[in-house]
Each structure stands twice: as C-alpha cells, then as structure tokens.
C-alpha cells in the first residue's frame, strides 16, 4: 500500500489536492520595479547572521510589482486561470555571504494561497495582500510600452495601504535594475513543535532562475510613497534618494535551490 501523495499539503490518496505541484514552476509576468536608497542601517537590521550588507551601495532597495501567470510543467493551470494568475509586491535588498553578493527578499505580499505555499518552500516571507498595477495594451486608453507611458501600482495589506507608485517610462534600457539582479539568499525557518524548542528547520539557501527570457526593459522615473501600518514595517525602508524605475515582461523557470548552511537542533 502507498500512503498519501502530494508535493505539499494536503496530502491525499491521489495528490490532486496538494496546494502546489512539484517543480519546475514556470512564470510569465509584467514587472514594475522602483529602485531607491534608504538608510543602510534599516537594511542591516533585516539581515540575519551570517549575512552582511552588500559592500557597495548597501542602502539600495528595489520595490517590485509583478502580475503573473504561472504553472507546473504540464501547463494545465493556464487553462484554469484561477490556479495560474496572481499578483505580488515585494521589497528586495542586497547582501553578502562569503564574499559573494546576493539579492534577498525582505518583505513580500501576494494575493493567492498557492503563491504563499510556494514562498514557504523557497524561503520568501510571503503574506496576503492586495496588489494592483496598470496593465499595458495596444488598444484603447491603456498605456503602450513607449516613452511617456505611465503606470500606477498600489499595495495594501490588512485594509491598510502600504505603498503606491506612478512610473513614467522614458527610454529603453540595458537592464531591469541592479538590486534584484543576483541569486537570492533566503532562510527557510520552521519553529519546533515543542514550546520554546527553537527552530526545527533553519536553512540558508541559494535560489534563482533555472532559465530566463525577457523583453527589452524600459527605464523611467517614479513617484513612490510608503505608508505606516500597525502590523507592517515596509515604511522603515524610507525613501531617501530615488535611483530609477523599470518596466519589463519576463519568462522564468524555477526548479529548486542549493543549501548554503544548515543548523541542526543540537546546534542551538
């Protein structure tokens, strides 16, 4: 006899109820990125050991809005859009581990449960939120991908607005920014079931795209506002100096990561 199946909970006789399928996971998305500088000390306070601030521009932040369609290798979700479409907004900083520069997601909000489950597996600190961004379209009043096009983006959680931005495209660019341009250094944490038992899972992992393709990025200018909320701390990464804004359409495949460090329960 075989036991319950499924890559993730809930595990059932067939595995069909699993909240997420096994990787690889495929993504198509529209990304709005706003890069700016904040107090480097506010970045440092979000980096657990053994991570250190990036050697150059340690206060750089990227706040990214993404409108995704995603699926597993069979692509069945694309024909059942409620299982493939979701939006997210996330804050990325850079850090250093053993002399190598990494990107790290320090805050992220999504609007679907399956996206939260994937984040738990990948080490992203995902929470539920309300995320919206202007979509481009070649007809009607929607913006085209061209100079002067304007895109709005908003983020809210627990009925409070956390961020809003207006991005105005100026010209084609060579990159989509530099903050979110490295492999990710994330932690996978799970508290022990015993009270005061520390962490049952404590891993530092490296994660990134198994493959990537993208349209030509555009750069421009952004008006960005962050707001305080009783249960969110994004506003601590206050905007001190704008860097640039970007728009790009991308396709990404994620197919696992690599363990960098792990601490056993006997090590705590």
Question: Tokens 């085209």 — which residue?
Answer: 144
pLDDT band per the 50, 70, 90 thresholds, residue 267: low
CA angle 188, 194, 199 (to 5 degrees): 20
Count how many Cα atoms sit within 13 Å of the Cα of residue 144 in the half-sphere of its side chain. Answer: 6
Instruction: For 131-188, write each residue's pLDDT tens digit.
Output: 999 999 999 999 999 999 999 999 999 999 999 999 999 999 999 999 999 999 999 9
Looking at residue 1, its pLDDT comes to 53
pTM of the model: 0.97
pLDDT of 265 reads 64
Percent of the chain with pLDDT over 70: 98
Q: Tokens in use for 214?
A: 């993208």
- Dihedrals phi, psi of 79, to nearest 5 degrees: -95, 5
**Residue 253 pLDDT level (bands cut at 50, 70, 90):** very high
pLDDT category at 2 given cuts 50, 70, 90 is confident
Q: Looking at residue 12, what DSSP letter applies?
A: B
34 pLDDT above the threshold of 90:
yes
- Give the whole-angstrom CA distance, residue 118 versus residue 47: 22
**Distance separating alpha carbons of residues 189 and 201, to the nearest angstrom:** 5
> By the 8 A CB rule, do 188 and 126 touch?
no
């Amino acid at each position: 006899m075989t036991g319950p199946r499924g890559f993730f909970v809930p595990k059932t006789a067939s595995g069909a109820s699993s909240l997420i399928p096994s990787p690889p996971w495929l993504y198509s998305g529209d990304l709005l990125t706003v890069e700016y500088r904040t107090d480097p000390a506010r970045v440092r306070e979000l980096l657990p050991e053994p991570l250190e601030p990036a050697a150059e521009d340690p206060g750089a932040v990227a706040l990214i809005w993404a409108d995704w369609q995603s699926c597993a290798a069979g692509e069945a979700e694309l024909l059942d859009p409620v299982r493939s479409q979701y939006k997210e907004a996330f804050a990325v900083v850079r850090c250093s581990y053993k002399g190598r520069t990494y990107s790290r997601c320090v805050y992220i909000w999504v609007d679907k449960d399956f996206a939260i489950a994937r984040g738990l597996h990948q080490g992203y600190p995902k929470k539920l939120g309300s995320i919206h961004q202007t979509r481009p379209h070649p007809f009607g009043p929607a913006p085209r991908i061209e100079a002067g096009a304007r895109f709005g983006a908003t983020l809210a959680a627990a009925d409070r607005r956390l961020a809003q931005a207006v991005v105005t495209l100026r010209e084609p660019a060579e990159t989509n920014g530099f903050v979110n341009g490295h492999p990710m250094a994330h932690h996978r944490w799970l508290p022990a079931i015993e009270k005061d038992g520390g962490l049952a899972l404590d891993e530092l992992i490296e994660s990134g795209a198994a493959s990537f393709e993208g349209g030509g990025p555009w750069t421009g200018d952004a008006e960005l506002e962050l707001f305080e909320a009783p249960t969110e701390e994004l506003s601590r990464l206050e905007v001190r100096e704008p860097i640039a804004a970007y728009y790009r359409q991308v396709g990404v495949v994620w197919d696992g990561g690599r363990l960098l460090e792990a601490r056993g329960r006997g090590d705590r």
